[in-house]
Amino acid sequence: MTDAVPRVPRVTGPTIRPRRLRTTPALRRAVAETSLEARHLILPVFVREGLSEATGPRPISSMPGVVQHTMDSLRAAATEAAELGLAGIMLFGIPEHKDAVGSGAIDPDGILNRAIAAVAAEVGDALPVMADLCLDEFTDHGHCGVLTPDGRVDNDRTLAIYAEMAQAQAAAGVDLVGPSGMMDGQVAVIRAALDAADHTDVAILAYSTKYASAFFGPFREAVDSSLEGDRRTYQQDPANAREGVREALLDVAEGADLVMVKPALAYLDVLRRVRDAVDVPVAAYNISGEYAMVEAAAANGWIDREPAILETLLSIRRAGADVVLTYWASEVARMLNQPSGRMTR
């Protein structure tokens, strides 16, 4: 009698295999929960007074690939943004001269208002033209409002200037104003000022939930900030999430058409809470420090740049942002327009 052959138990694999839906790129695209498209992206740009077309735009050292534009290069960037199908362009002006009350912000011939008019004339209705509505680029002390004699930001005096600034931007042709100063009541005052001047169609993209963040550093180089001290008495405490939702709800009640969370990456939890709380579109700002970290890591060979950019922006969309302000907007739109979904080198 021969020895019996031992019976090998039949191995049965799992019935439920989530990996089935990951087997090919086409299948992964078919079941993707979150999309990233050009129409989700807004391009922030800086235009500097006094730059000559002969010298061209001025590079920003802490934000590789980003520049302070001349008026001509700004128009070219806006035209490209329109052709790429972006959701908008957000303008920041850098004046040659600053003063204590930021008077250049309301001057019809000031750099920001001239930039609005130039871009609006260039792109027409093909691209929403947005403008930062804040005094920090225009004040010699670098704060977002005018100061009291003892150096505090005067909320209500600042609101009166914001109202004038909104009317000046609307007269220049802006489609959306972006109040970013975190003054209490700013949206209500701006809405009333716009409506009183028959600019009822100008929308408000409110920087509702804006934190006193360490990640703003490169932006301050970009706008030649002259900030004295910090902005912790009016920007939000990074420890607080419920307060961020409260700020967004107040802005919606005051007439905001969209609300924003800024910064994005360190506050994805807040972004999700705001998205769940409001019934208007939500924006998030992928800010300068977030941009600079990815660029620096990629330049050192520590990460694969293009996938890292896409993953960063997808994370912001996944957390609830309808639109994302990002300095990569045009580059990513070109990348997404490639048949392979990747940028050509």
Query: Are 144 and 135 in contact, with CB atoms under 8 Å apart?
Result: yes
Digit-coded pLDDT (tens) for 197-209: 999 999 999 999 9
The answer to whether the CB of 147 falls within 8 A of the CB of 154 is yes
Q: Which of 120, 122, 124 is nearest to 112 (CA)?
A: 120
CA–CA dist 289, 276 (Å, integer): 26
> pLDDT tens-digit profile of 140-192?
998 999 999 999 999 999 999 999 999 999 999 999 999 999 999 999 999 99
SS3 percent helix, strand, coil of the chain, rounded to 5, is: 40, 15, 40
Round the average pLDDT of the chain to a whole number and report it. Answer: 93
Structure tokens at 28: 């992964």
Cis peptide preceding 263, ω within 30 of 0: yes
The answer to whether residue 344 scores a pLDDT higher than 60 is no
Rounded to two decimals, what is the model's pTM? 0.93
| Residue of 98, 141, 262, 273 marked catalytic | 262
Structure tokens at 168: 């000046």
Q: Is the pLDDT of residue 341 over 70?
A: no
Token pair 């790129």 in the structure block, residue: 25
What's residue 343's pLDDT?
Answer: 40
Domains along the chain with CATH numbers? 35-337 (3.20.20.70)
Per residue in 29-87, pLDDT (tens digit) is 999 999 999 999 999 999 999 998 888 999 999 999 999 999 999 999 999 999 999 99
Pairing state between β 88-94 and 129-133? parallel
Structure tokens at 25: 């790129």
- Which residue is catalytic, options 210, 231, 275, 317? 210
Report the run of H or E that residue 340 belongs to, with start and end.
none
The residues with which 153 forms a beta bridge, in sequence order, are 147
Contact assessment for residue 95 and residue 111, using Cβ atoms and an 8 Å cutoff = yes
* Residue 170 pLDDT: 98
DSSP tag of 265: G
- In the annotation, is 98 catalytic? no
Mean per-residue pLDDT for 243-264? 98
CB 146 within 8 A of CB 154: yes
